[in-house]
Structure 1
Amino acid sequence: MTQARPGARRLALAPALLLALSAGAASAQTEGEAPLSAIDWLSQSLVAPPAAPAPQPPEAGRTGPGSGAVPGETPVADSATVPDVSTRSLGAPSPDGVGLLGPRITGLPGDLWSASDAAQLITLIRALDTQQTPAMQELTRLLMLAEAQPPLGASGEASFLLARTDRLLDMGALQEAQAMLEQVGLDTPEVTRRWFDIALLTGTEDAACAAMLEQASLSPTLPTRIFCLAREGDWPAAAVTLNSATALGTLDPEIEDLLHRFLDDNMHEGAEPLRDPSRPSPLVFRMREAIGEALPSRTLPLAFAQADLRDTNPWRVQIEAAERLVRAGGLDPAVLFALYGDHAPAASGGVWDRAAAIQALEAALRAGPPAAGTAPEGGTTATLDEALPPAWEAMEQAGLQVPFARHYAQALLDRPLEGETAALAQRIALLSPLYETAARGLDDPLAAGIAAGETAGIEPADPREAALAAAFADHPVPEPLQALVEAGKPGEAMLRAIATFDQGVSAEPQALADALALLRSLGLEDIARRAALQVLLLDRPA
């Protein structure tokens, strides 16, 4: 295998790489077009602790009690207000090093972040594109879940951990984000409010409310306290709290109206439906659901789709939510393909056609090939030759080709297929982790070369193919990325390479070679090959 040669020569950086290396430049969307980040839609479920007042200078000529200064004595505090501070046991590990996957599982070094500045890493994580190729989604998720030494500037505030969990929330990976937060405990408002919102979206709010009301160090906002009192069964206390807040005028009118309906919806029979908020929080989302005025999750940030996976929702809603989450890398594809088979499609078009196509494919796989000269059992089950093309077309229309390939590649490779069906199955398997097996006998030099990690001598057809071929030949790692690696900052280099790759997909092909060369030099060969195959094959007509 030919590896890229780090630092072989100075390169003129591609425009996309220059963008990716600048702070915050990886996001090419305008503020109005970009999906809301987790930091924009999280509930303000806790009251921020009051800040300590600034010390006041003593009045001129005054000393003694109340003056704030005594001649000849060390100054003392002139206020008993407790300042807003965070605490951590001496010798306790920084929460910023927390992860769910250790180095032995990830294959990443334990000093992944330790030489990088925490603020810089946070900027890079927040700037990552939300529309990534599946292989880059996987790498992003791996980096967010990795257990490693904390970066420079890490503190008890867990800012770097929060940035990673926010990225997981934006991908829809709520369970992983929740597990990360629970490792550090509910000691800070920023950790707790994320944990509480995850509970709201996953249907575990009763346990979250119990913890919120029992922990003396937490101060829920009035809407949160009222909601939790009701969930705990203390409706009288919830009503008294709401009525008091109403009398004092301390609640936003729309939240106040929603809370009144939540506590006693019968009082508002015949009332006009509530206006849909532009940025509903998980708390608003759950209360709207409880009063029978649920908000559609498809127009909301991806994390809200997790709430639609519950069995209480219609089958179609569950499928649509699962499709969104799988596309973003936030849900195991097996969940989606199991959902497709739960019921008989009720109509045609869209979701129903995809469910019908997958059900036909599953039936064909179970039936196996018919004996020579016979029809399939019962004469109604489609053969694999008949079922695979429509299933693949349905996945292409939904942007689910790679999840489909991951789920069905092994089953397809195990079948003795021929002709066009065999060629299609081979193409599908090339988009799966079984790409090396699928590439055997492949009549596509570039795809076969990428699958093998060796593309020297292959003639590309266009600039994008040329960049992909160069990455697996002798393309050197760009000097700025190599300098990060040599400075002991592999994690930062990977984040920048992900941003560079994303820019290469959408704009400058040369950036593809730059990013892939860096990943290969760090031993991420499998991810590099799968990313390159995805770019190559998903951009081609079938």
Structure 2
Amino acid sequence: MRRLAAALALTLVPGAVAAEGPLSAIDWLSDSVARAPAPKRPDDGWTTGVARSALPEEVTVAPLSKTVPDAVGLHPAASLGLPADLWSGSSPRDLERLFAVDMTDALPAARDLFEALATVEAPPPPGSDGRALFLARVDALLRLGDIHSAAALLERAELRDPELFRRWFDISILRGTETRACERMSALPEITPTYATRIFCLARGGDWPAAALTLETSEALGVVSPAEDALLARFLDPMIAEDGLSLPPPEDPSPLTFAMYEAIGAPLSTQTLPAAFAHADLRPVNGWKARLAAAERLARLGSLSADQLMALYGEQEPAASGGVWDRVAAVQALDAALDAGDANAVAAALPIAWDEMTAAGLAHPLARAFGPRLEALGGTEGAPALQMILLSGGDPVEPTSREERVLASLATDRPAMPSTARERAVAEGLAASPPPARYAEMLDTGRTGEAVLRALTDLREGRTGELSHLRDALALLKHSGPDGSARDAALQALILDAAP
């Protein structure tokens, strides 16, 4: 037994020893694999291109097939109307800090563009260590609950780096594909699992004796904490799990801990956990109300499409009244009225659905789902119809009030009749010709991507009263952002931020 323990100690890494402090802004990741040290960043001489002596520089040799994560993306910069070298003049550290900004409360247009920049394929900036910027981009997606885009990025980067793999492993657990993740782990010699992960994967693969032996070994070596030991023992032995002595819920569970609590019949609520955990509640094994709560949370962040949310709303009849059930009933009534092509029924159902969804922070998904159908119907009188059509990218119907005329003028790129301070800031931003001074130097020095990222953070601050930031951010997007991004952000700033 002692010889076996020693052998296992060479191939497995205890979680407590492997973790030398957080390497990521995401503090809920599982301690699932041994973590390699971060690559050394190039020194100043390399970064600036200045030789430090007349002697030939040392040549670094790497396999031609090796993927550099910082260069990996899901779409080219050209798809956003941005230059291919959008990071060329930026400092990697500055970009990492910008991707660490909390965008959960940003306008949908700003958040969508932020995610598009996080998934863009472009050469890394000078001084890149090859992976730090990539990890910052992945973590930005995880904070927004967009685990599907994060997984796609990680898979393109080949998963051979432990820091990349541990993120993909956690995403797999939240998506319910942990068995595939365990199989992938065993096939990658570069990845060394911690004891808890090894035990979890052995059990998931049906090798319960090996899992139990590994737990005994970890106990003998003293490499699992008492809390881990208690959880792993219950995970492996249903008799212990049914002894009536429940484990206290952990304060900050990782996805691995979350999965094991669920397996022992003590599922943890996701409502107070990071948004990425909400995906676990979307699985069909959960009840409709739990799936609705998770879907609404993710839809607010743009990590679940409007169509997916509306499809879930339509699954059943509301089970009661109040809260989510009132939203379900209102959306179903609007959907039925539009299906029937009944303008009077639409006029009656629309204000109720708009008010219910706006109060829940879901006006934008509602508009995205129903705006095109309202436009096809020929519109209907009243502010909600115009606002929903505009938020979905449609052409304005005939406005009937001053506020509606302002919105319609923005949609047609002819800002007119601004009255409030916010309306004036929006109109000035869209009418500005040269880029604002705060971004001009970035644009002139190959820092286009950084300029757009900074504009998105300014746009976020503009929601809370910094109207000069709102104005300048819109001007930058109009000058250098993707087509339509400034228009969409301007309309959202007036419609969504005016909502009660």
TM range (shorter): 0.7 to 0.9
Shift of 1:155: 3.0
Equivalent AA in structure 1 for residue 122 of structure 2: A
Specify which structure has the bigger relative contact order, considering alpha-carbon pairs within 8 angstroms and separated by 6 or more residues: 1
Q: Tell me which residue corresponds to 2:63.
A: 89
- 1:136-190 deviation digits (Å, cap 9, x = unpaired): 011101111111111112234x111111111111111111111111111122110
Cα separation, 1, equivalents of 2:336 and 2:368: 19
Matched, 1:495 2:482: no
- 1:83-104 deviation digits (Å, cap 9, x = unpaired): xxx9942485632111111234
Matched, 1:309 2:307: no
Q: Tell me which residue corresponds to 2:177.
A: 204
Equivalent AA in structure 2 for residue 40 of structure 1: D
Q: Tell me which residue corresponds to 1:47.
A: 34
Equivalent AA in structure 1 for residue 437 of structure 2: E
Q: Tell me which residue corresponds to 1:432.
A: 392
Q: Tell me which residue corresponds to 1:263.
A: 236
Cα separation, 1, equivalents of 2:209 and 2:342: 66
Which residue, 356, 360, 363 being the options, matches 1:398?
360
Shift of 1:48: 3.1
Cα–Cα, structure 1 residues 442 and 177, in superposed 2: closer, same or farther, change >3 Å? Answer: farther
Which residue, 130, 149, 159 being the options, matches 2:104?
130
Cα–Cα, structure 1 residues 104 and 541, in superposed 2: closer, same or farther, change >3 Å? Answer: closer
Cα separation, 1, equivalents of 2:288 and 2:61: 47
Contact 1:213 1:225 in 2 (8 A): no
Shift of 1:321: 0.6
Which residue, 466, 484, 488 being the options, matches 1:530?
488
Matched, 1:296 2:269: yes
Shift of 1:367: 1.8
Between 118-127 and 196-205, the greater mean CA deviation after superposition: 118-127
- 1:456-504 deviation digits (Å, cap 9, x = unpaired): xx44333222211111223653323110001011000011111111111
SS at match of 2:271: helix
Cα–Cα, structure 1 residues 166 and 416, in superposed 2: closer, same or farther, change >3 Å? Answer: same
Between 474-483 and 296-305, the greater mean CA deviation after superposition: 474-483
- The RMSD of aligned alpha carbons is 2.2
Between 42-51 and 322-331, the greater mean CA deviation after superposition: 42-51
Shift of 1:267: 2.0
Contact 1:334 1:407 in 2 (8 A): yes
Which residue, 468, 474, 478 being the options, matches 2:436?
478
- 1:415-462 deviation digits (Å, cap 9, x = unpaired): 245544xx431122122221xx1255564342122212232xx44333
TM-score by length of 2: 0.86
Cα separation, 1, equivalents of 2:422 and 2:435: 18
- 1:328-357 deviation digits (Å, cap 9, x = unpaired): 111111111000011111111111111111
Equivalent AA in structure 1 for residue 359 of structure 2: Q
Cα separation, 2, equivalents of 1:441 and 1:462: 18
Q: Tell me which residue corresponds to 1:369.
A: 342
Cα separation, 1, equivalents of 2:136 and 2:101: 11
Cα–Cα, structure 1 residues 494 and 418, in superposed 2: closer, same or farther, change >3 Å? Answer: closer
Unaligned runs of 5+ in 1: 1-36, 52-85, 371-381
Contact 1:38 1:169 in 2 (8 A): no
- 1:374-411 deviation digits (Å, cap 9, x = unpaired): xxxxxxxx922222221111111111111111111111
Cα separation, 2, equivalents of 1:284 and 1:173: 21
Equivalent AA in structure 1 for residue 293 of structure 2: E
TM-score by length of 1: 0.80
Cα–Cα, structure 1 residues 43 and 418, in superposed 2: closer, same or farther, change >3 Å? Answer: closer
Equivalent AA in structure 2 for residue 297 of structure 1: T
Q: Tell me which residue corresponds to 1:187.
A: 160
Cα separation, 2, equivalents of 1:495 and 1:252: 42
| Identity between Structure 1 and Structure 2 (%) | 45
Cα separation, 1, equivalents of 2:110 and 2:61: 36
Cα separation, 2, equivalents of 1:144 and 1:301: 19
Cα–Cα, structure 1 residues 50 and 144, in superposed 2: closer, same or farther, change >3 Å? Answer: closer
* Structure having the higher Rg: 1
Which residue, 219, 237, 248 being the options, matches 2:192?
219
Which residue, 424, 431, 434 being the options, matches 1:466?
424
Matched, 1:159 2:132: yes
